[in-house]
Amino acid sequence: EYLDDNGDPKRDDVTITTSMVKRNISNYILKETVGKLGGTVWGKHCSKNVGVSIVRANRELVIRDSFLTSALRESKGRFIGIEVSFPPNLDSVFGVTNNKQDAVRLIPYEMKTISSQAGFDSEQEYLRDL
């Protein structure tokens, strides 16, 4: 729920879709190679899509890899897919730029930082309030 430009409460759907390569698929691919999964044709293809895909009105704005730790990005991150999809009504909530190329408010936040900024003594207290 959010407030529209007139201050009225509104509600829209945000869809988060995730995927991960199945173990039986990765095992099958590994049987065909002597190296690691990331070195295969499929692994190299997957490395082009590492990160969270931010989609507005069925169009990808950007893939942001800042949500992944460097260790995850280098290892299994390429075999995990995450998509956050939302309608144009939520442009102001996500901070969609005027050229519709990014959603600048959809960034990773440290729970400790935002709970402190919100005036809570602990992350747990902040989460209970949420």
Give me the amino acid identity at 99.
N
Give per-residue pLDDT as tens, 40-59.
888 888 877 888 999 999 99
Q: What share of the chain is helix, strand, coil (3-state, %, to 5)?
A: 40, 25, 40
d(CA 103, CA 112): 23
pLDDT for the residue numbered 58: 96
What predicted TM-score, i.e. pTM, was given to this entire model? 0.72
